[in-house]
Amino acid sequence: MNDLYNSKKVVWGLLAAFVIVWLYVLGVRTLVPPDEGRYAEMAREMWATGDWITTRLNGIKYFEKPPLQTWMNALSFGLFGLGEWQARLWTGLCGLGGVLLTSYTAHRLFGQRTGFYAALALGSTLYWVAGGQIDSLDMGLSGMMTVALCSLLIAQRDAATPAEQRNWMLLCWAGMALAVLAKGLIGVVLPGAVLVLYTLLSRDIAIWKRLHLGKGLLLFFAIATPWFVLVALQNPEQPHFFFIHEHWERFFLKTHHREGAWYYFLLLLIPGVMPWFGLLPQALVQGVKRAPGVFQPKLLLVIWAVFITFFFSYSSSKLPGYILPVFPALAMLIASYLENASRLNRMLAAGLLLLLGVAGLVALPHWIGSAPRHPDERALLEAYQPWVLSAAIVAAAGGALAIFHARQLRRDLTVLTLAIAGFVSVQLILTGFEPYGNLRAGKQLALKMLPELQADTKIYSVSTYEQSMTFYLRRTVILVNYWDEFTFGLTQQPELSIPTVDGFIARWQEHTTQKVKAMAIVSDDAYRDLKTKGVTMRVIAEDSRRLVITNL
């Protein structure tokens, strides 16, 4: 039982089960705001309008990020129709492809068993699994950066032939170009900085002669440049906003109000890399030790993981998904360490998973006790409790079983048990969140609005913007007294919104006088304010977070 990686039936069976579950769960949950609703709606609008150059959200120019994910989601909608799994298909494929490519790379560099372990490690890591099931930009970026990282490792290994070196380096350049189209300049800045640091620490200056710079740069610019040129020609205001505001100011200034302590990402790595955190310190230490040969792949992996983590730790803008690109590197380091890890170290990893499961069982009642006091939301969180409880039980049981296998010197079964427990636990946590996520998205309110809507019905969103409801309504809304992420776009197109509530009231009363039906999405506070001002309205749907009103 210690040679599972050698059994084709076991490997292909595990892969088939993993792929089926991974793809199936893409469609079991509502698109939760803000990110999932935002990027699904942008793609819906792109497909509906046929404009593949100027990206828009709610019909308003939206240049915070490049278009790769919007393109892929729009293409998914065009091929398969509108829906949740279609909106998550691109990120799901990026996450799945990252697991397969990481496994293949570890196999080529470190051996067959390490490749098997790398797939199990990355395919069960909490952050990577969760990221692959959510429609956000971080997994799209991470998938393309994984292409760049793995291609570089395979191309630069000492045994690479000239043809392999050329072809894999060209794929590396293509990966960086797609990473730029996924989320901006970090797609090339981060790999470039890692390579510079690797050169200094390994003293391998000759690696720069093996990068195929000429062909690589031509390919890079051929892929990355056209959209930036076209969008700037159509929207001259885009370059300054994108390159200065969204890169320089986001990194150095606190204008986005996403600050965090310098150790923010270090703390997130602890749950993020579970169930493998017990092996991470040893894997990093092993990675910096010099190995035979010229190229030092483990050192490059350590630099990749450490530099990217500290790069974003220094940034003034911090969100949990920023460090997602480090996990393929960590998975390869952990897999390489697992190849020769002692029984004690394997038991340590299993023991930490067991403790995490027990801690979840103990903390769960306290978490529910501090839940929101609104009856609807509290009831939904209480309904979520059995799912979290099940995830904690699976983690604890998996940790205990892995300890047993480790004591019996069953290496492959120990690793497989940890991987299955980690993967299943994350799926339970994500799937059980659906009722609460449905409420946050306002999906049921959107479905109740649809029968009341006519082709010319105006929908207003007063002092708020519901990121997911517009997707489920299949149409844009008119913003009232709301700016936030639309500030730049509305500066360019002020006619697309109503800047004040009084202006909205005047428009609303005009619709009422003319017997033209209109609807509005409002918060409790906005509703009370409108009621105080004597606005004619009727509530047609409501939940604990917002109301939908009509004038007729």
Average pLDDT of the chain to the nearest whole number? 91
CB 128 within 8 A of CB 170: no
Residue 27: pLDDT over 90: yes
Residue 96, pLDDT score: 97
Alpha helices in 111-185 (DSSP H): 112-122, 126-132, 137-156, 162-183
3-class SS of residue 538: strand
Residue 251, pLDDT score: 60
Residue 211, pLDDT score: 94
Q: Which two tokens stand for residue 549?
A: 């009103």
Alpha-carbon distance of 279 to 386, in angstroms, equals 30
Residue 255: pLDDT over 60: no
Residue 370, pLDDT score: 61
Q: Please give the single-letter amino acid code of residue 101.
A: L
Encode pLDDT of 383-414 as tens digits: 888 898 999 999 999 999 999 998 888 889 99
* Confidence bin at 172 (pLDDT 50/70/90): very high
Task: Tell me the β-bridge partners of 61.
Answer: 56
Q: Which two tokens stand for residue 79?
A: 């091929």
- Least confident stretch, 244-258, 354-368, 490-504: 244-258
Residue 262: pLDDT over 80: no
> Can you give the residue ranges of every domain in the chain?
1-21+60-341, 343-371+378-441, 444-551
Encode pLDDT of 75-108 as tens digits: 999 999 999 999 999 999 999 999 999 999 999 9
* Confidence bin at 302 (pLDDT 50/70/90): very high
Encode pLDDT of 434-464 as tens digits: 988 898 999 999 999 999 888 889 999 999 9
Residue 1: pLDDT over 70: no
- Least confident stretch, 17-21, 191-195, 408-412: 408-412
Q: Which two tokens stand for residue 113?
A: 């068993």
Residue 299, pLDDT score: 96
Encode pLDDT of 115-159 as tens digits: 999 999 999 999 999 999 999 999 999 999 999 999 999 999 999
Residue with tokens 């497989």: 416
| 3-class SS letters over 351-396 | HHHHHHHHHHHHHHHHHHHCCCCCHHHHHHHHHHHHHHHHHHHHHH
Encode pLDDT of 39-60 as tens digits: 999 999 999 999 999 999 999 9
Alpha-carbon distance of 483 to 491, in angstroms, equals 10
Encode pLDDT of 305-349 as tens digits: 999 999 988 877 778 888 999 999 999 999 999 988 888 888 888
Residue 90, pLDDT score: 97
Q: Are strands 60-61 and 56-57 parallel, antiparallel or unpaired?
A: antiparallel
DSSP for 225-267 reads HHHHHHHHHH-TTHHIIIIIIIIIIHHH--TT-----TTHHHH
* Confidence bin at 375 (pLDDT 50/70/90): confident
The mean pLDDT value for 502-518 works out to 93
Residue 153, pLDDT score: 97
Residue 398, pLDDT score: 94
Residue 258: pLDDT over 70: no
Residue 408, pLDDT score: 86
Alpha-carbon distance of 495 to 407, in angstroms, equals 69
Residue 360, pLDDT score: 83
Task: Supply the pTM of this predicted model.
Answer: 0.92
The mean pLDDT value for 181-205 works out to 93
The mean pLDDT value for 526-532 works out to 92
Alpha-carbon distance of 295 to 206, in angstroms, equals 10
